[in-house]
Amino acid sequence: MLPGVDGRSVWMRRLRDLIDLHVADLGGVESVSAAERSIVRRAATLTVELERMEGAFALAGEAAPDALDLYQRTAGNLRRLLESVGLQRRQRDITQDVHEYVAREHPKPAVSPSCGDAA
């Protein structure tokens, strides 16, 4: 995903998971343009960093004013990125091909070989 970066780190795994979730919300890989994917990647990056900040706030039991200011600005930028790709979930088209549906719902009976009349 990022050249020269170990994709197995916790940070990278979370980034990849968020990208996959956002792309799924936008209707899947086939429905997402390159520009949307770029925005999704940046939104996922900001989300990972906001989550890290939230963890630090929780461990410290508070947020320092400068850290809280950075958090608020980052959260605002995240909101704008998400608004640009649409905050609502898009449904994927799962319409089945009529021939596949008929074949699945009305399978043809198995034809057994005739046993010949031995009379």
Q: Cβ distance 11 to 1 under 8 Å?
A: no
Give tens-digit pLDDT for 19-68.
999 999 898 999 999 999 999 999 999 999 999 999 999 999 999 999 99
Q: Quick one: pLDDT at residue 6?
A: 76
Give the pLDDT of residue 114.
61
pLDDT of residue 56: 97
Where residue 116 falls among pLDDT bands split at 50, 70, 90?
low
pLDDT value at 16 more than 90 = yes
pLDDT digits (tens, 9 = 90+) for 84-97: 998 665 566 667 77
Per DSSP, 112 falls in state P
Whether 73 has a pLDDT exceeding 80, the answer reads yes
| pTM of the shown model | 0.70
Whole-number pLDDT of residue 90: 55
31 secondary structure, DSSP code: G
Boundaries of every domain in the chain: 10-105
